[in-house]
């Protein structure tokens, strides 16, 4: 009762060492992207609050803009957990990255319609992080339940 059968994971990824519970697989690229997102988000907030003209403009922002800022700030905090390879941050980081990417794509579409074309770094970083988190989710699922990965791809 309550005992889980031991499963041989040697066939799921034979070159990687077995994962400890609660730890994400090592991925330096994912950690670098998460660190860049964290640094740029925190720098943006410090810059916006530090400059007087920008600080006064914060009151005029829409509710949607504030929601986007809260999501991006939460993502920055979650990225710190991802850098430290904490597994509980994986799913939350994945979905916050999806929301952040959607916010930036919608903003880009509106700017494009207004004949303002700007290439931003944030959507590119979000796309890279989303890709690496997707790979990590599949790796974690493979170590937890190899039968589930076979049926879902």
User: How far apart, in whole angstroms, are the C-alpha atoms of residue 36 and residue 131?
Assistant: 15
The pLDDT score that the predictor gives to residue 6 is 54
The pLDDT score that the predictor gives to residue 34 is 97
Q: Which of 95, 97, 106, 105 is nearest to 126 (CA)?
A: 97
Would you call 23 helix, strand, or coil by DSSP? strand
The tens-digit pLDDT sequence of the chain (153 residues) is: 555 555 555 555 555 555 566 889 999 999 999 999 999 999 988 887 777 676 677 777 788 888 888 999 999 999 999 999 999 999 999 999 999 999 988 888 888 888 887 778 999 999 999 999 999 999 888 777 655 555 555
- Hunting for tokens 């330096």 — which residue is that? 28
Cβ partners under 8 Å of residue 143, min gap 6? 9, 12, 13, 18, 19
- Hunting for tokens 């916010």 — which residue is that? 103
Are 100 and 72 in contact, with CB atoms under 8 Å apart?
Answer: yes
The pLDDT score that the predictor gives to residue 143 is 76
**What count of other Cβ atoms lies within 10 Å of the Cβ of residue 38?**
18
The pLDDT score that the predictor gives to residue 82 is 95
Record the tokens describing residue 58, joined without a space: 């914060």
pTM: 0.75
């Amino acid at each position: 009762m309550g005992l889980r059968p031991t499963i041989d994971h040697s066939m799921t990824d034979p070159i990687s060492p077995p994962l400890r519970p609660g730890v994400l697989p090592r991925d330096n690229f994912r950690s670098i992207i998460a660190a860049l997102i964290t640094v740029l988000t925190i720098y943006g907030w410090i810059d916006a609050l530090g400059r007087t003209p920008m600080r006064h403009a914060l009151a005029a922002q829409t509710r949607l803009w504030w929601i986007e800022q809260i999501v991006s700030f939460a993502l920055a905090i979650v990225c710190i957990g991802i850098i430290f390879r904490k597994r509980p941050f994986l799913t939350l980081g994945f979905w916050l990255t999806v929301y952040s990417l959607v916010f930036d794509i919608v903003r880009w579409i509106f700017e494009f319609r207004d004949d303002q074309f700007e290439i931003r770094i944030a959507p590119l970083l979000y796309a890279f992080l989303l890709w690496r988190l997707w790979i990590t989710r599949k790796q974690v699922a493979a170590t937890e339940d190899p039968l589930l990965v076979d049926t879902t791809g």
